[in-house]
Every structure is written in C-alpha cells, then in structure tokens.
Structure 1
Amino acid sequence: MDKQQLQKVDITGKVEGKFEHGKMNLYVDKAKVGEIVMTNQGNMYEMSEGFEFDHNKVFRYEKPAGQKEKSYVEGCDMGWC
C-alpha cells in the first residue's frame, strides 16, 4: 500500500527503549520498530518499514479506520475468496 494512502499516527507513548550492544533498540509491544545509534557526530535513527522518527516523536503508518483491503483475486463471485 502506498504511504500516501496511510495515516501517520503518533505512538511515542507506546515506545520502550532498551540499551543493547552499544545502541538503543526501540520496541512497541515487544516488536522492534527501530534503533538509535549513538555517535560522536550525533544520534542516527534507523526505523523499521512503516515507522518514522520525526521531531523527537515516533510515528507508525496505518490504514485509516474503515478502509478495506482490496481483494487479491479478481472475479471473486463464487464465494470461495
């Protein structure tokens, strides 16, 4: 799905950080969503697909409420899909 069709949702309050192996890993519900690598030049934020770090906040891109997924097959009128 195109990023332009998704809603940007602030999830900063749900993010937990754990310092592991010299970097800060970011988690939401025990799933890793990104990491912060600390360097002498400043922090580098690397986010998983579907997540973004912007203005000191973490965002997740989601389908807007009520948006239906398109069918994976065409002509699905026989009731099997």
Structure 2
Amino acid sequence: MSQTINITKNITGKISGGTMVLYHNDHPIGKIDLQSKEMSLEEGYEAQGADIYSLQSTVEQEQYAEDCDMGWC
C-alpha cells in the first residue's frame, strides 16, 4: 500500500544556474528548468496540479500471534 502526503508547504527552492533545485527537509527532491519551466522530481515524489506529494509505502504490521481470543493469547 502507498500513501500520498501533501508536502507543498514544506518545499523550498534555490536557484542554481538555469534551474531551481527543490528541497524537502533540506534534501533535494527535484528541479525546475527556468527556461522551459519543466519540473522533474525524484522517485517517491509526484506533482498534481500546483501541489507536490510524497509517496510513502505503508507496511501493515503483522500480529505476533493468530487466533487470540479478545487479544489474549
């Protein structure tokens, strides 16, 4: 399973040459070419409209025991 989290408000950018490098929590996650205005994002991130989302996989925690009556084993 995966979960999308809107991180748009936490994105910062720094201009470097002809591109703007996008950061989330001080980690580079993508860039925008200032000439063509095309955006590319690292794996695990996705743009939808004007928002940027972090795609996080969720792992269901397995129970350490099965067939317990009312949680007691």
* TM norm structure 1: 0.67
* Structure index of larger Rg: 2
Match of 1:67 in 2: 60
Which amino acid in structure 2 is aligned with residue 35 of structure 1? K
Percent identity between the two aligned chains:
23
Asked if 1:43 is matched to 2:42, the reply is no
Match of 1:33 in 2: 29
Q: With CA pairs under 8 Å and 6+ residues apart, which has the higher RCO, 1 or 2?
A: 2
CA RMSD in angstroms comes to 1.5
Asked if 1:20 is matched to 2:16, the reply is yes
Match of 2:65 in 1: none
- Structure 2, unaligned runs of 5 or more: 62-73
Match of 1:78 in 2: none
* TM norm structure 2: 0.74
Q: Secondary structure at the match of 1:43?
A: coil
Tell me by how many angstroms 1:21 deviates.
Answer: 1.5
